[in-house]
Structure 1
Amino acid sequence: MTAVTSPDAVTEPRPPAPPPPVGPPPVDAAPHRTLGLVPSASLLAGGALAAVWFWVPLTLLIVAISSIPSVIGFLLAGMVFIYVMRAVGYLERVRSEAVFGMGIGVPPRRRSHYTGFQGWAHQLWLDVSSARFWLSTAHHYLRMLYDATATALALALLTFAFLAPAAAIAIGHSDPDAGLRFLPTPVAFVLAVLAVIAAGAVVVFAPALDARIDRWLLPPSPTAALQYEVSALADARAGAVTSAQTERHRIERDLHDSVQPRLVSLAMTIGLAQTKLDTDLPVAKALIAEAHDDAKNALVELRNVVRGIAPTILSDRGLDAALSSVVQRANNSGVPTTLNVHLPRRLPDEVEACAYFVVAEALTNVTRHAGATTASVTVRLDEDTNRLHVTVFDDGHGGARVTDSENATGLRGLDERVRAARGTFAVSSPATGPTIVTAELPCGS
């Protein structure tokens, strides 16, 4: 089976790539509009929804707290509360963009480095313990209370504007002996007109404060962004250190297990040939021929080791061509493998090297351990988020996972390498298969 590559991949030499951007994306949080039909409609809709929606997350939180002794009820209610508030935070950003035209950046979110159920549970804990989560919750309730208050005030003023003149007229025509008192009719009409104007002013101008609440609580705070950046850099540095150590141990192991024995055999064969040159020339010639074969095999082994350090084809012709070479080796080893690549441009060296090693190591595991009948590699650059998505799939038996075992350094090394590039790495491999290895890498702009 042949590899399928993208026709628009670029293979010419590249200029030096800019470094990846540091920190959260720039935030354009200045409102483009705070007056108009859309902001006013958003205010009124928020006030109407607050009458019901205000109690939904609050009820979930109360149920979770009151269910602490039962543990299961606490966990279920807490899990639903977290998911609801995460969805609310997303919807609030969409609403702010649609209503006020504000490009509010998404706050940095810490990602779990675990996989499977442990990764899911750890991610929930990271979310609920983050300032980002509670800041979004505070924004939601503050905006809801404000919208409900402004809507209720406007409704109360309109109610007064319609009822005050009618009450003044009715009481003015009632029996004086009944003892009913109200505003004089002219005063009631004047106040009614003022109430209508005030209600209109509330509906028209109140969204300006709504936009300020969004700007205050929705964007990531400078402190939170800085803390996240420090944590991400520390994690990347730790990943780089451990990745370098793992790579050094791999090179040492490969040299010790492959190249060194061949060189030792070569030296012994040449030594035997020297002893036979004067006494048995045909045997000496045979030994020299054997030494020549050993030298060629040693060169092949050495090239394989060097290829694992820095494949020349990657720097010369790009990631598309380098992956095609890796997939071709997988095809030659007996596992039909397809390659789908979408790379409209060259990427930074670090990103291309990381993606190459993810695919190379994953396919090596497939050919050696998976017992697969087919495999596929997908590499796609998402230009909207400027992130590279790498996926390696095989239909063999599963059970692959990232462990700390000294005998299972392949996937752990990939996880460390991807973390060093400030990306995310995951392995999905149930016991019966299939296995899916995914990596997501940030790219320079």
Structure 2
Amino acid sequence: MTATADTEEIIGAGSADVAAPAPAPPRVRGLGLVPTASMVIGAALGSVWFWIPLGLLVIGVSSIPSVIGFVLAAVVFVYLIRGVDRVERVRSEAVFGMGIGIPPRRLSPHTGFQRWAHQLLLDVSSARFWKTVAHHYLRMTYDILVTALALALLAFAFLAPAAAIAIGNSDADAGLSFLPTPVAWLLAVVALAVAVVLLIFAPALDATIDRWLLSPSPTAALQYQVSALADARQGAVTSAQTERHRIERDLHDGVQPRLVSLAMTIGLAQTKLDTDLPAAKALIAEAHDDAKTALVELRNVVRGIAPTILSDRGLDAALSAVVQRATNSGVPTTLSVHLPRRLPEEVEACAYFVVAEALTNVTRHAGATQAAVTVRLDEAANLLHVTVFDDGRGGARIVADDAGADATGLRGLDERVRAARGTFGVSSPVTGPTVITAVLPCAS
């Protein structure tokens, strides 16, 4: 996927996402032309928009017996509130300049339709969703009432003196002169002053409502930390177990048979040293070749545990070696790296293994004609973005068990990235291409 995610700070129901840096203290500018214009425009739009989400909610509740109507109304309502949440946050930042943090959002660990349905359920059951609903209607109602009152006072300020003067100058019965002209002018001045005060100072309460209902609660932030740490711990445990199984498999299926063959060859050579010297020399030469092959396989196993080039020369050089091996294997691969500084060791190791395993999958399974690796450090958010693209066959996905004949190792990569408190995603339509992404926090 080109980037799954939302730019939001989220809690994975099955995978933890990256925590965004703590926002700066809010810098409220609740007074001025922009806040006042925002309140008036919001009131004008709200007088029409007010009924649309409310109508959907009423339709959904009244359609519960028919199920289908309820489901459709609920889905539309959820998507509507999602959009409202984004719009309100953008408006609050643009109008008031407050750096309001984004509350955590749980993401479904499932895939396909199940992920979509589960995500809707997670959203509806979250406090963030209903706080957004409450914020939207509270602020909209407040803007409508304040603006309507201010406009009514302005209308009175301009019309009351004119009406009093007209009645005073008319030949109608004096009983119609219920509002003397001086009193009308006094009330008009008071009404005008109150309207101006409302239009100038009322938006400050809008800013308070935004900060109250849009900000993440301390409890939600604590829940995020607990859930993220628990998920990272589980990912670390699972990743370590998977790594042990991989090392055992590599030693058992690769190095061990080679060493057994080497021992047998040396044993045969020993039996022929006295009786058939040429055959013994041939066996010794074969054993020498087996020893060199075993050494290469053992180096590959060691490289899979802790590549020396990574610690010595950094991520750029290590990835260049991985890309070169992929190119030599028949898949031309390009590398784009933007790393202005060295990263923490665990982050570099995680990024290295993501790229190495992904390119191994490309060379073995994808049938690709080209691949591309992009590694970029977002210094503002302190996040490392890793992307591996190939134009081969698609259909790659994270499954519960990657130990079968069609193993892709994506489950192991997902666990490794989760252990680093990052996010991992795969976008791989059946027709291709495949894009693997990982986002890793780089805090020391």
| TM-score relative to the length of structure 1 | 0.89
Structure 1 counterpart of 2:204? 208
Q: Is the aligned partner of 1:421 residue 2:420?
A: yes
Q: Is the 8 A contact 2:150 2:198 kept in 1?
A: yes
Deviations 1:219-274 (A, max 9, x none): 10100111111111111111111111111111110100000001111122222223
Give the distance between the partners of 1:394 and 1:115, measured in 2 at CA.
Answer: 21
Structure 1 counterpart of 2:273? 277
Residue 174 (structure 1) shift: 5.0
- Could you tell me which runs of 5 or more consecutive residues in structure 2 were left unpaired when the two chains were aligned: 1-16
Give the distance between the partners of 1:141 and 1:391, measured in 2 at CA.
Answer: 41
Q: Is the aligned partner of 1:156 residue 2:152?
A: yes
1:291 to 287, 300, 314: 287
- Could you tell me which runs of 5 or more consecutive residues in structure 1 were left unpaired when the two chains were aligned: 1-20
Pairing of 1:361-376 with structure 2 (within 5 A) = 361-376=357-372
Q: Secondary structure at the match of 1:237?
A: helix
After superposition, the Cα gap between the structure-2 partners of 1:153 and 1:114, relative to the gap in structure 1 and judged at 3 Å, is same
| AA matched with 1:288 | I
Q: Secondary structure at the match of 2:106?
A: coil
After superposition, the Cα gap between the structure-2 partners of 1:123 and 1:341, relative to the gap in structure 1 and judged at 3 Å, is farther
Give the distance between the partners of 1:185 and 1:27, measured in 2 at CA.
Answer: 56
After superposition, the Cα gap between the structure-2 partners of 1:383 and 1:75, relative to the gap in structure 1 and judged at 3 Å, is farther
Aligned Cα RMSD in Å? 2.2
Deviations 1:295-332 (A, max 9, x none): 11111001111111111111111212111111111111
Deviations 1:10-50 (A, max 9, x none): xxxxxxxxxxx995532335343222211221221222221
Give the distance between the partners of 1:438 and 1:68, measured in 2 at CA.
Answer: 40
2:137 to 141, 157, 168: 141
Residue 117 (structure 1) shift: 3.6
Q: Is the aligned partner of 1:402 residue 2:401?
A: no
Give the distance between the partners of 2:20 and 2:217, measured in 1 at CA.
Answer: 11
Give the distance between the partners of 1:382 and 1:79, measured in 2 at CA.
Answer: 35
Greater RCO (Cα-Cα under 8 Å, separation 6 or more): 1
Deviations 1:407-436 (A, max 9, x none): 136111011111111222222222222222
Residue 128 (structure 1) shift: 2.4
Deviations 1:312-360 (A, max 9, x none): 1111112121111111111111112222222222222222211111111
| AA matched with 2:412 | G
Give the distance between the partners of 2:67 and 2:383, measured in 1 at CA.
Answer: 39
| AA matched with 1:426 | G
Q: Is the 8 A contact 1:115 1:426 kept in 2?
A: no
Q: Is the 8 A contact 1:168 1:185 kept in 2?
A: yes
1:313 to 309, 324, 345: 309
2:326 to 304, 324, 330: 330
Structure 2 counterpart of 1:224? 220
2:388 to 374, 387, 392: 392
Structure 2 counterpart of 1:444? 443
Structure 1 counterpart of 2:84? 88
Deviations 1:188-214 (A, max 9, x none): 211111110011111111111111111
Give the distance between the partners of 1:415 and 1:196, measured in 2 at CA.
Answer: 63
Give the distance between the partners of 2:408 and 2:246, measured in 1 at CA.
Answer: 9
Q: Is the aligned partner of 1:265 residue 2:264?
A: no
Give the distance between the partners of 1:210 and 1:65, measured in 2 at CA.
Answer: 30
Structure 2 counterpart of 1:77? 73
After superposition, the Cα gap between the structure-2 partners of 1:29 and 1:51, relative to the gap in structure 1 and judged at 3 Å, is farther
Residue 51 (structure 1) shift: 0.5
